[in-house]
Structure 1
Amino acid sequence: MTTTFSTTTFFRTTRTKRHLFSHFGTYRGAFQEWRKRERLRADLCALNDRELQDIGITRGEVDYVASNRSYDPRGVRSTVR
């Protein structure tokens, strides 16, 4: 009976630690994504208006593009008329 109780306690401890590390990994991934967005936003803000126009966005779209990295501004409107 003691061995079974000890094994059950070990299982719960392992499961709790695994659960904790799972949450830690989730928060770490979210933090890394936030850092990537902030780095992209800073890089885009450092460009002048002509350089932003070359890649197809305006200064007002920088926050949106940084938050939605899958967004391709060239697909929204055509600059060639």
Structure 2
Amino acid sequence: MSTIQGTTELGPTTAKRQVYSPLETYWNAFQEWRKRRRLQTELCRLTDSELMDIGITRGEIDYVASSHSISPDPLRWMSDIGTLR
């Protein structure tokens, strides 16, 4: 027979329990929509010359705000465009 010597400390669990929650999915989608609307509003508040400075026109605001592949940071977005040439 063997005996266990000492104690084992239990630390905080790091694994998050994955549970499918439709409400959480809808909430996350709503938050993403709000972020896009906020970006669109901020871009609409800029003047035409300020929009030209970051390389977009007023007609492209909806596309830029709705595109998931473009960074919301205009400086990073413009630097990505510059590397394509």
Task: Report the alpha carbon displacement of residue 31 of structure 1 after superposing the two structures with TM.
Answer: 0.2
- Structure 1 unaligned spans of 5+: 1-17
Task: Report the alpha carbon displacement of residue 70 of structure 1 after superposing the two structures with TM.
Answer: 2.4
Give structure 1 regions of 4+ aligned residues with deviation exceeding 3 angstroms.
none
Does 1:57 pair with 2:56? yes
1:67 is matched with 66
- Structure 2 unaligned spans of 5+: 1-18, 71-76
Number of aligned positions between the proteins: 59
2:47 is matched with 48
2:16 is matched with none
Residue 56 of structure 2 aligns to a residue whose secondary structure is coil
Partners in 2 of 1:29 and 1:44 — Cα distance?
A: 23
Partners in 1 of 2:44 and 2:68 — Cα distance?
A: 15
2:36 is matched with 37
Structure 2 counterpart of 1:46, which letter?
Answer: R
Greater helix share, structure number: 1
- 1:67–1:31 CA distance, 2 compared to 1 (3 A): same
1:7 is matched with none
Task: Report the alpha carbon displacement of residue 69 of structure 1 after superposing the two structures with TM.
Answer: 4.0
Structure 2 counterpart of 1:65, which letter?
Answer: V
TM-score, normalising length from structure 1? Answer: 0.62
Partners in 2 of 1:43 and 1:69 — Cα distance?
A: 17
Q: Residues 5-44 of structure 1: matches in 2 within 5 Å?
A: 19=20, 22-44=21-43
